[in-house]
């Protein structure tokens, strides 16, 4: 459409503020075409859905929040025979996280490895994983840290808290075969008398 092409050209003064202006211009034009097709007269509901532009940022923020809630819920004062003092949950989004780690200016506190069947991101520093999760779901550091600990009352009174180190990393593993992500982390439990229980 000529009009959409003209609208896209208006953005050219932004050329110096964008890393890859050609890619940006193409994406703007493509999204404008989809929006036009979505709202054009005589569109049925199927065509409107097909031409929707999904806000990926909101999906990622939602997935990370679900992950943090699952992690918090599974912190327990009771030890497990299988993988003691660990939490393991699954999620869908991984490619974006891996790309973010690869393109980061610093590799402090995080490593990644890729193989034919498994891709792994391993965090060894709490500050780094908290910062990355905070950026992805747009909440502050303190809110993320609240998910990393849990207080218990009653007969098993105490506190469970996620721990990170080179020996006990916070890992995200993507199975190419199963197309799922497993998040695994370690935690310690401090009882009411100050005794620490951990693997």
Q: For residues 129 and 41, state if they share a domain.
A: no
Query: What's the pTM value of the predicted model, to 2 decimals?
Result: 0.67
Q: For residues 44 and 131, state if they share a domain.
A: no
For 3, the token pair is 């009009």
Give, for 56, the enclosing helix (H) or strand (E): helix 56-74
Q: For residues 40 and 130, state if they share a domain.
A: no
Q: For residues 28 and 89, state if they share a domain.
A: no
Domain termination residue (choose one: 50, 74, 89): 50
Q: For residues 186 and 96, state if they share a domain.
A: yes
Which one of 125-129, 132-136, 138-142, 171-175 scores highest in mean pLDDT? 125-129
Q: For residues 69 and 134, state if they share a domain.
A: yes
Q: What does the pLDDT read at residue 45?
A: 63
How many Cα atoms are found within 13 Å in the side-chain-facing hemisphere of 84? 8
Could you tell me if 112 and 104 are in contact, meaning their C-beta atoms sit under 8 angstroms apart? no
Mean residue pLDDT of the chain comes to: 84
Q: For residues 10 and 90, state if they share a domain.
A: no
d(CA 199, CA 79): 9
Domain termination residue (choose one: 50, 68, 85): 50
Residues 6+ apart with CB under 8 A from 83: 184
Q: pLDDT-based confidence at 11, cuts 50/70/90?
A: confident
For 144, the token pair is 């993320």
Report how far apart, in Å, the C-alpha atoms of 113 and of each of 6, 22, 84, 86, 123 are: 45, 31, 25, 22, 12
Is it the case that residue 48 has pLDDT exceeding 70?
no
Q: From the CB of residue 115, how many other CB atoms can be counted at a distance below 10 Å?
A: 8
The residue segments making up the domain with residue 41 are 2-50
Q: pLDDT-based confidence at 126, cuts 50/70/90?
A: very high
Q: Return the beta strands (E) in the chain as ranges.
A: 86-91, 110-114, 118-123, 149-152, 158-163, 170-175, 180-191, 196-197
Q: For residues 119 and 78, state if they share a domain.
A: yes
Residue 10: phi and psi, rounded to 5, are -60, -25
Q: For residues 100 and 45, state if they share a domain.
A: no
Q: For residues 25 and 76, state if they share a domain.
A: no
For 113, the token pair is 């490895």
Q: For residues 44 and 72, state if they share a domain.
A: no
Report which of residues 145 and 64 the model is more confident about: 145
How many structural domains is the chain composed of? 2
Is it the case that residue 6 has pLDDT exceeding 80?
no
pLDDT digits (tens, 9 = 90+) for 138-151: 789 999 999 999 99
d(CA 171, CA 162): 12
Q: For residues 143 and 173, state if they share a domain.
A: yes
């Amino acid at each position: 459409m000529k009009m959409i092409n003209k609208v896209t050209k208006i953005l050219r003064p932004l050329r110096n503020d964008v890393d890859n202006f050609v890619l940006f211009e193409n994406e703007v034009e493509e999204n404008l075409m989809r929006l036009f097709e979505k709202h054009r007269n005589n569109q049925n509901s199927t065509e409107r859905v097909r031409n929707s532009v999904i806000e990926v940022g909101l999906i990622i923020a939602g997935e990370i929040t679900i992950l943090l809630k699952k992690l918090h819920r599974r912190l327990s004062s009771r030890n497990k025979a299988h993988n003691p003092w660990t939490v393991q949950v699954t999620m869908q989004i991984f490619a974006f996280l891996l790309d973010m780690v690869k393109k980061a200016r610093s590799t402090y506190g995080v490593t990644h490895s890729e193989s034919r069947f498994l891709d792994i991101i391993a965090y060894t520093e709490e500050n780094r994983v908290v910062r990355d999760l905070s950026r992805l779901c747009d909440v502050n550091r303190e809110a993320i840290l609240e998910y990393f600990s849990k207080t218990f009352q009653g007969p098993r009174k105490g506190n469970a808290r996620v721990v990170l180190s080179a020996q006990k990393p916070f890992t995200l593993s993507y199975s190419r075969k199963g197309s799922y992500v497993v998040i695994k982390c370690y935690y310690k439990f401090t009882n009411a008398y100050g005794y620490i229980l951990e693997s």
